[in-house]
Structure 1
């Protein structure tokens, strides 16, 4: 099945840049996550954000590990939502996906003993 219009917004052709950052659905998720993590958002495009993260998220401090985890989990959940819409015909709101991302990150971070990270402290 060839998908030409992006299933999360039905307005633009599908691309990695649109999927992860340009789509309003994805932007809503990133805005919420970056506000919680304390990372700058400023509506960066995919390539600019990856360049920024690769420069600023070096090392293994608890905050850096948490931010890298946030990026990986968010990309996974956005991709998963895309696939659920295409292959299963189900859909969730950006708030539900963001909450699922936060819950996944919180669960993983709890095993790192990072109780002071904003996502762990979030209720």
Structure 2
């Protein structure tokens, strides 16, 4: 039986695969003997591995920095530092902020992986501001906590300033 406090119960499966470096990025495909290019499909500037794909490429860096910096003054700039901060067991100063940063983290990962696959298998590309729409749609579906907590969407709209 799985421990209810394990990271896989707190973080969705795609995020767990990324934290464990289990997604089939180009560096892993090459280790498996596949003949694929090493260059990152998002920026063509680095070797596509988990860290580069989700935090170093220009596309992913702009997504993460744009949204996370609305909550943190200096958001972590690597995958494991961001996950460690999110999973800290201390009481956050603002419950809405921690809920929103978890959603931003998960949605960023989803959007970046989706974009990577779209560029690999189709010619369709999405702008980096697609995360704004994804977040707003998700936040609309979340019911507010009991008073005095506010709607997460309202909190997001109060803090987020589009570039």
TM-score (norm. length: structure 2): 0.61
Write out per-residue CA displacement over residues 53-78 of structure 1, whole angstroms, 9 at most, x where no aligned residue.
2217878x333222211111110001
Query: 1:118: how far off?
Result: 2.3
Which residue does 2:104 correspond to in 1?
Answer: 70
Which residue does 2:58 correspond to in 1?
Answer: 24
Which residue does 1:45 correspond to in 2?
Answer: 78
Q: Is 2:133 the partner of 1:103?
A: yes
Distance 1:54 1:40, change over 3 A: farther
The structure richer in helix per residue is: 1
Query: 1:44: how far off?
Result: 1.9
Q: RCO higher in 1 or 2 (8 Å CA, sep ≥ 6)?
A: 1
CA RMSD of aligned residues (A): 2.6
Deviating 4+ runs (over 3 angstroms): 40-43, 56-59, 119-123
The unaligned stretches of length 5 or more in structure 1 are none
Aligned residues: 117
TM-score (norm. length: structure 1): 0.78
